[in-house]
Amino acid sequence: MKASKGSVSIGLVLIGLLLALPPAIAQKRIAFQTLDGRRLRGPDIDRLVQQLMDTARVPGLAVALLQDNQVRYLKTYGFRNLETRAPLEPTTAMYAASFSKAVFAYLVMQLVQEKRLDLDKPLHEYLSKPLPDYEAYQDLAGDERWKRLTARQCLTHTTGLPNWRWIAPDKKLRFKFEPGQQYWYSGEGLQVLQLVVETIMQQSLTQLSAARVFTPLGMTRTSYVWQPAFEANYAIGYDEQGQPLPKRKRTKAGAAGSMETTPADYALFLAAVMQNKGLLLATKAEMTRAQVRIPYRAQFGPLATVAAPDSNRAIRLAYGLGWGTFDSPYGHAYFKEGHDDGWENHSVVFQDRRKALLLMSNSSNADKIFRELLAKLLGDQTTPWEWEDYVPYNAGPGR
């Protein structure tokens, strides 16, 4: 798939300012050095990305490369809407999915460093009534394990709650494991923490995120709820067969996955985290250090509790506070993904090398090219792609 004429290159971002350059100029100036010492230029990136998108049938993809903790390259490829042939652009609103959790963790850690929230204090002590007395949590009545829930458990995915209650046949919310017992990815746990944060601060997540994250960092087109400003330029998601999916314009903020953002905005956020903006160095280190090991073969599905091969132990795969972590030949790394039907996002930061890669796509097929993009654009051969289920498009029967 060829990049559209509307594609925009943005390069050499200094001190949080995105400087838009014409594509020809940007391609000449960009010289990104990968983890393994290769030098990439704009045309090299274009050829690789466009070939992979075409082969895997990915309609739109955004790529950002960060070096020296700053955005060095940001370009969008393909289309935000195949029917109208509208191009995907750096300012196109895209569904962030679980990138929402990373932003929420950043916000929560601000409250921790201000001593408004204790990571290990039982969450119910911050509430004005028992958790089951809230309508959303009445299913937990009679099971007092909710009294043991903490912010640390919510952010490390060790609450024992399911990812989403609606996955259960009866749609009821129940504990799957004892709180603190093991890693089990849980959007429900993040939603409990959102309730507590909103109670403590007496403000909504929409208000808090705008005041503490989006406005200070210059993320002008990001919100946990749909904004009228998104209407003029937003992406539609596409399934594996290339069929468009209905665009959900969320009106209820959810810490676990309601955020809408743009490639330019989320690249700014990633750079801010790398630069320790808004967080003390010790707070950022606590957020991104390994806190609970992940010894399982997959993040989701039936293999999510099956013991993993040695590869997981070799990279010390773990979860921090809102971010996954692993060790590599290039030092410690932290990452966050975002998945939903029609949307695939991935970000990874190699903190010792001050480099990162951001990928955002409006296609369910995009995760099939993530492994190759990580390896060839960043030199990252360590990301646990099997655990992530980033099975390459040309691997396995039927692919």
For residue range 113-134, what is the model confidence (pLDDT) as tens digits? Answer: 999 999 999 999 999 999 999 9
All residue ranges of the chain with pLDDT < 70 are 1-30, 395-399
Contact in structure between 82 and 165 (CB atoms under 8 Å) = no
Q: What are phi and psi of 44, to 5 degrees?
A: -65, -45
Contacts of 90 (CB under 8 A, 6+ apart): 8, 10, 18, 62, 74, 75, 76, 262, 263, 264
**Residue 302, CA distances (Å) to 96, 297, 298 in order:** 25, 9, 8
∠ at Cα 16 (10, 22), nearest 5°?
15
Tokens for 212, please give them.
């503490």
The one-letter code for the residue type at 262 is T
Distance CA 272, CA 278 (A): 8
Q: Which helix (H) or strand (E) holds 287?
A: helix 281-288
68-99 in b/e form (b: 16+ CB < 10 A) is: ebbbbbbbbbbbbbbeeebbbbbbbbbbbbbb
The one-letter code for the residue type at 189 is G
Distance CA 103, CA 3 (A): 30
Which residue from 258, 256, 269, 194 is spatially nearest to 223, judged by alpha carbons?
Answer: 258
Domain ranges across the chain:
9-105+204-388
Helices vs strands, H then E, count in the chain = 12, 15
Verdict on whether the full-model pTM lies above 0.75: yes
Specify the pLDDT at position 394.
76
Distance CA 156, CA 322 (A): 6
Question: What SS3 class is residue 207?
Answer: helix
Contacts of 150 (CB under 8 A, 6+ apart): 119, 120, 121, 122, 123, 179
**Side-chain-side CA neighbours of residue 247 (13 Å):** 15
Q: What are phi and psi of 216, to 5 degrees?
A: -60, -35
∠ at Cα 187 (181, 190), nearest 5°?
80
Percentages (nearest 5) of helix, strand, coil residues in the chain = 35, 20, 45
Distance CA 161, CA 215 (A): 33
CATH of 9-105+204-388, one of 3.40.190.10, 3.40.50.2020, 3.40.50.970, 3.40.710.10: 3.40.710.10
Specify the pLDDT at position 66.
98
Contact in structure between 269 and 113 (CB atoms under 8 Å) = no
